[in-house]
Amino acid sequence: MLRIAARKERVLPTCPTTEAISPKPVRITARFGIAVALAALVTGCQSMTPDIKESAFQPSNNPVTVDNVSRNDRLAELARSQHPRILATYGGEYSDPKLERMVAKVVGNLTTVSGNPTQAYRITILNSPNVNAFALPGGYLYVTRGLLALANDSAELAAVIAHEMGHVTANHGLQRQQKEAEEVLATKVVTDVLGENPNANVALIRGKLRLAQFSRNQELEADAIGIKASGQAGFDPFAAGRFLQSMAAYSEMRSVSGATDPNLDFLASHPNAPQRIDLAQRHARQFGTQGTGVTDRDSFLAGIDGLLFGDTPEEGYVRGNTFMHPRLGVSFSVPAGFVIDNSAAAVTATGPGDMAIRFDGVSIDANVSLADYVRSGWVAGLDEASVRAVTINGNQAAVASARAEGWQFDITVIRAGGQVYRLLTAAPLANTSLDPVARAVSGSFKALSASEKAALKPLRIRVVTVRPGDTVGSLSAQMAGVDKKLELFRLLNALSPGATVSAGDKVKIVSDR
């Protein structure tokens, strides 16, 4: 965690510890109906991630912030208590001294023009592919490596951080707490006095709208404060509008691909609309025309060169239609048309016909047969006669079928390397593809060889210089381990559909080399 204050030294973070590796419990999130179905099937599931509730942390549209730690120790203590939970939710700290120095330089420049120069800011880079930034009490600021990968220069990063500092400066958290308390009291009065009549419902709706408008006004105020601060610090004030556009494009791509957990993204807590981008550009024009201020692009790109992109080795990798876990030493594939989502909460795959697949692991006694384990009560609606022992690619396994609440299931459990893994496939009762899909998925499960595990490398952002003859197409073709290479290349480099590159330009690609 970087601690930034005007004329104060930065404290570099320590590398986070890595706990014992185990597959994550998996839940279907892409389709609500399938989530209910799988919940009905599995009555007991091993918990392999911390029990983190949404209320355990406060995203930046609802922060509890103070402009001076000493003025409210209770709120500062609240922030300290939430910090470990935020680390657990977002994959811990991301440690890279080169990257930290670049971020510290940006924040240091912003503190020189801060509305409260005595405020100390503690900046933590989170080890998450989600694109997010938010604030907590006492100047705790967070930015994910996913956001750093999406940004293209120091001015864009400054715009995001200055926005979050704006929430601190404006005491938005305290204001929102007070407003929420007023709305809770008003709700109680309306309910007690008016009951459930139409007037009561109208009053409650108006109260919710006032609270929503209050939040939107906070975001716009933080935009104005942040753009003013970044502009005064010498950064390009138009960077805020550019990055809002990049995040909108990212959000659209994410909604199509299903990649990452949208609930952990910036746009889940920050309203985004063309009007907001237009307002950001209006604020920027107060400093001059386009080209005003410093972007410091070369310094920023040097800082993020080598940045981890996507999944970590602890989470396993998705490569096309295959999931591979180098630490566990196993892999499986899904049929064409399925999309694997290796989010912070789940490893799932969804496909045609409302079909879904989930993968997780459990620890059971080596003396317990897999068939007996399947019959042990964790499967609701199990067809006892369907349980049978099999061998899958040299590994002990058991398969079975079940039905529950309008869904049919294939259950496959496999013992490999002393661990038991579960592959659960779900489909509506009318779907006739359950068996062939389940057999294809379970049949693809295998233990990775030592050479296969050694060959698996994480994806990283690589900054390359455009050579004569290079094109957007040829550069995007150099990317590895990702789908939609051309679309992702343009997104990462903020290139419009018709934009080209020139020799000498520096661009970002994704590679495992």
**Average pLDDT in the 305-311 region?**
95
Query: Is there a single domain that holds both residue 130 and residue 266?
Result: yes
Three-state SS letters, 189-237: HHHHHHCCCHHHHHHHHHHHHHHHHHHHHHHHHHHHHHHHHHHHCCECC
Looking at the structure of the chain, the number of domains it has is 3
82 vs 100, higher pLDDT: 100
Q: Are residues 438 and 478 in the same domain?
A: no
What's the token pair of residue 104? 């510290």
- Of 235 and 82, the structure prediction assigns the larger pLDDT to 235
Q: Letter for the amino acid at 168?
A: V
What's the pLDDT score for residue 141?
87
State if pTM tops 0.75: no
Q: How many residues does the chain have?
A: 513
The residue assigned the tokens 């051309």 is 486
> Which 3 state secondary structure label does DSSP give 294?
strand
Task: Report yes or no on 336 lying in a domain.
Answer: yes
pLDDT of residue 262: 56
Last residue of a domain, one of 306, 339, 355: 306
| Residue 364 buriedness (CB in 10 A; 0-12 / 13-18 / 19+) | middle
Residue 356 lies in a domain: yes
Higher pLDDT, 308 or 113: 308
Question: Which of 2-6, 39-43, 496-500 has the lowest average pLDDT?
Answer: 2-6
Domain annotation covers residue 4: no
Sign, CA dihedral 453-458-464-468, equals positive
Does 469 lie in the same domain as 441? no
pLDDT band at 150 (very low <50, low <70, confident <90, very high): very high
Q: Average pLDDT in the 182-200 region?
A: 45
Whether 441 and 465 share a structural domain: no
Query: Up-side HSE of residue 109: CA atoms within 13 Å toward CB?
Result: 24
Among candidate residues 447, 477, 503, the one where a domain is terminated = 447
Maximum mean pLDDT: which of 148-152, 210-214, 253-257, 452-456? 148-152
Pair (209, 327) in one structural domain? no
Beta bridge partners of 382: 402
**Of 48, 52, 51, which Cα lies nearest the Cα of 22?**
48
| Nearest-angstrom CA–CA distance, 8 and 118 | 10
Q: How far apart are CA 343 and CA 478, in angstroms?
A: 25
Residue 209 in domain: yes
Indicate if the pLDDT at residue 16 is higher than 50: no
Q: What is the pLDDT of residue 6?
A: 36
What is the three-state SS of 311-350? Answer: CCCCCCEEECCEEEECCCCEEEECCCCCEEEECCCCEEEE
Q: Find the range with the poorest average confidence among 196-200, 318-322, 502-506.
A: 196-200
Residue 5 lies in a domain: no
Tell me the residue range of the domain where 225 lies. 66-306
CATH number of the domain within which 421 lies:
3.40.1000.10
Taking 50 as the threshold, does the pLDDT of residue 53 lie above it?
Answer: no
Shared domain for 358 and 245, answered yes or no, is no
pLDDT tops 70 at residue 237: yes
Q: Span 192-200, mean pLDDT?
A: 47
Q: Does the structure show a pLDDT above 80 at 188? A: no
Of residues 147, 141, 210, 145, the one with CA closest to residue 169: 141
Q: How far apart are CA 488 and CA 495, in angstroms?
A: 10
Residues with Cβ within 8 Å of 130's Cβ and at least 6 positions away in sequence, in order, are 90, 144, 146, 260, 261, 264, 265, 344
- In sequence order, which residues have a C-beta less than 8 Å from that of residue 104 and are 6 or more positions away? 2, 4, 10, 123
Which is more confidently placed, 181 or 429?
429
Same domain, 232 and 339: no
Q: Which of 421, 447, 473 is the last residue of a domain?
A: 447
* Confidence category of residue 483, pLDDT binned at 50, 70, 90: confident
Give me the CATH number covering residue 507. Answer: 3.10.350
**Alpha-carbon span 127 to 161, nearest angstrom:** 17
Residues 374 and 465 occupy one common structural domain:
no
**Stronger pLDDT, 276 or 349, i.e. the higher one:** 349
The pLDDT value given to residue 393? 96
27-55 average pLDDT score: 41
Question: What percent of the chain is modeled with pLDDT above 90?
Answer: 46
Q: How far apart are CA 271 and CA 132, in angstroms?
A: 13
Cβ proximity of 323 and 359 under 8 Å: yes
pLDDT score at 212? 39
User: Is 384 among the domain residues?
Assistant: yes
Query: Is position 41 within any domain?
Result: no
Between helix 274-285 and helix 239-257 the angle, nearest 10°, is 160
**Same domain membership, residue 102 and residue 187:** yes
- CB atoms under 10 Å from CB of 185, counted, come to 10
DSSP-derived secondary structure letter, 379: B
Same domain as 481, residue 425? no
Q: What is the pLDDT of residue 63?
A: 37
pLDDT of residue 122: 85
Q: Using 50, 70 and 90 to split pLDDT, how confident is the model at 43?
A: very low
Which of 167, 94, 161, 155 lies closest to 133, judged by CA? 161
85, part of any domain: yes
- 464 & 437 share domain: no
**pLDDT tens for residues 266-291?**
555 555 677 788 888 889 889 888 88
Same domain? 236 vs 385: no
* Cβ pair 265, 131 in contact under 8 A: yes
pLDDT of amino acid 385: 96
Which one has a higher pLDDT value, 397 or 139? 397
Judged against a pLDDT cut of 90, whether residue 470 lies above it is answered with yes
Closest CA to 226 of 291, 160, 154: 160
